[in-house]
Amino acid sequence: MKLVDIAEVCERSGLPPSTLRYYEEIGLVESVARHGLRRQFGPEITLQLALISLGRSAGFSLGEIGAMFARDGVPKLPRDALHAKADDLDAQIKELTTLSNALRHVADCPAPSHMECPRFRKLLNLAKKPRRANKHIKASKPA
């Protein structure tokens, strides 16, 4: 049989049952049956949860993730929207790379004050670029 008990899903994903119930409540995933009271999920659930986890770590809200993929994990967005998301991601990857480099530089640079090290400043100035609204980092209200 292809159904996966919630306990099994929790074990595989590392998520507690409460989170699974919550995800179902907000329509992010779907349980397909019950065994007694216990939710049973389809075999794709593990992959879906991995996708959600990935999206979360990219800073997408559950709402955004829900808007991207249907309950069964199949993407609902048009091609250009997907490409746009990917572009956002790539921009974010650049920022993280900057931060990673900055951290490594700080770890290794012998300068007494990093704020005065030109190389460090240069790295960080990259970060001040056109900051777009980045989900959980909301822009200030308009003047």
Number of residues interacting with DNA: please give it, by CB under 7 A.
23
Question: Nearest distance from residue 10's CB to DNA, in Å?
Answer: 6
Q: Is 141 in the site for DNA (CB under 7 A)?
A: yes
Nearest-approach distance from CB 108 to DNA, in angstroms: 28
Q: Are 21 and 38 in contact (CB under 8 A)?
A: no
Residue 118's binding partner among DNA, a second copy, none (Cβ under 5 to 8 angstroms by kind) is none
Residues contacting a second copy: total by CB under 8 A: 59
Of these partners, DNA, a second copy, none, which one is at the site of residue 110 (CB under 5 to 8 Å by kind)? none
- Rounded Cα–Cα distance for residues 132 and 21 (Å): 33
User: CA-based angle 62:128:80, to the nearest 5?
Assistant: 45
Integer Cα distance of 57 and 20 in angstroms: 17
